[in-house]
């Protein structure tokens, strides 16, 4: 069977817990898809890139945190149904638990960064696939 080149591969990070049991979320800036909604931070995997490598790059670009790729663990995934959605390319969103990092988040690309307890993350307005990841990751 041939592989499926249709999906757009996207990685996302569950960064935490911090000393207070909180996790880092990103609020998407105005002018982008899902503006104003809170997501697990991350982005698209470039051609030829590994998932952990892409996550380290995206998080560094967006907020300056350095993630430790050695301690990252696959945590959950969510995918669009290729026939159900209206967009040309369905998303395959891979969530990694990232328990070790260094630095403090600063907004480098216009989004907002905040640490939240899991019950607060459940209440945030999120894009559809992040809602699924939240339910799967925090239960
Ligand atoms: N996290 C998340 N992303 C989603 C969902 N649905 C959906 O179409 N997307 C899209 C929006 C973006 O095209 C892509 C996420 O990659 P990204 O964060 O690097 O994209 P971006 O909008 O910042 O775009 P760019 O400037 O990097 O091109 O996935 C969803 O439910 N959750």
Here the ipTM equals 0.88
CA dihedral sign of residues 110, 116, 118, 120: negative
Give the pLDDT band (50/70/90) at residue 112: very high
Which class does domain 8-138 fall in?
alpha beta
pLDDT at 51: 98
Ligand 1: atom nearest CA of 34 is 11
From the CA of 111, how far away is ligand 1's center (Å)? 13
Give the N- to C-terminal CA distance of the chain in Å, as an integer. 35
Q: What is the pTM of this model?
A: 0.93
How many residues in total does the chain contain?
139
Average pLDDT of span 106-110: 96
pLDDT of residue 82: 74
């Amino acid at each position: 069977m041939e592989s499926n080149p249709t999906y757009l591969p996207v990685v996302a990070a569950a960064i935490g817990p911090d000393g207070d049991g909180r996790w880092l979320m990103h609020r998407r800036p105005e002018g982008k898809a899902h503006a104003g909604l809170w997501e697990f931070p991350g982005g698209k995997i470039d051609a030829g890139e590994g998932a952990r490598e892409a996550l380290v790059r995206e998080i560094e670009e967006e907020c300056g945190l350095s993630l430790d790729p050695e301690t990252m663990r696959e945590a959950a995934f969510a995918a669009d149904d290729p026939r159900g959605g209206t967009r040309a390319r369905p998303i395959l969103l891979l969530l990694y638990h990232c328990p070790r990092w260094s630095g403090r988040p600063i907004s480098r690309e216009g989004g907002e960064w905040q640490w939240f307890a899991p019950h607060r993350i459940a209440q945030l307005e999120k894009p559809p696939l992040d809602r699924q990841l939240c339910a799967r990751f925090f239960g």
